Amino acid sequence: MSPKRGERAAPPPVGNEYDLRFASTEAANGWDELARHATGNLRRAFGKIRSAPRATDDPARQHRLKGKLGSTVWKGRPLEQWQFEVTGGGRIWYLVDNAERTAWITYAGAGHPKATD
């Protein structure tokens, strides 16, 4: 059974790790697509987002989105929106929720999100 909106992307976090959850069913389906095409890269992205959702050590792969895409109101609160480049075209967009220690996956897929076109 495929995951749905609000469900966890993987096992529960341990210690100071962030919980990864899907913001939509479309994001969950995109995650499954990435898993079929780039398993190793997706696993590395998952680990990095879970441990350091705002990491800046590899800005070509992981960075905050620019302009109006850089933040979004989620459940009534403004949250930063970040991107992790999984493959040349594959992306994960996520919101960083410090209060809940959750990264909400808003987009996952093997191609560029339409919002950046």
Fold for domain 19-111? YaeB-like fold (3.30.2310)
Full-model pTM: 0.89
Distance CA 56, CA 66 (A): 14
pLDDT in tens, 25-84: 999 999 999 999 999 999 999 999 999 999 999 999 999 999 999 999 999 999 999 999
Q: In the chain, where are the structural domains located?
A: 19-111
pLDDT category at 6 given cuts 50, 70, 90 is confident
Q: What is the pLDDT of residue 116?
A: 56
Whether the CB-CB separation of 62 and 47 falls below 8 Å is answered with: no
Residue recorded with tokens 């897929």: 109
Q: What is the pLDDT of residue 2?
A: 62
Whether the CB-CB separation of 34 and 108 falls below 8 Å is answered with: yes
**φ and ψ at 114, to 5 degrees?**
-60, -30
Distance CA 19, CA 65 (A): 20
Residue recorded with tokens 């997706």: 42
Q: What is the pLDDT of residue 9?
A: 72
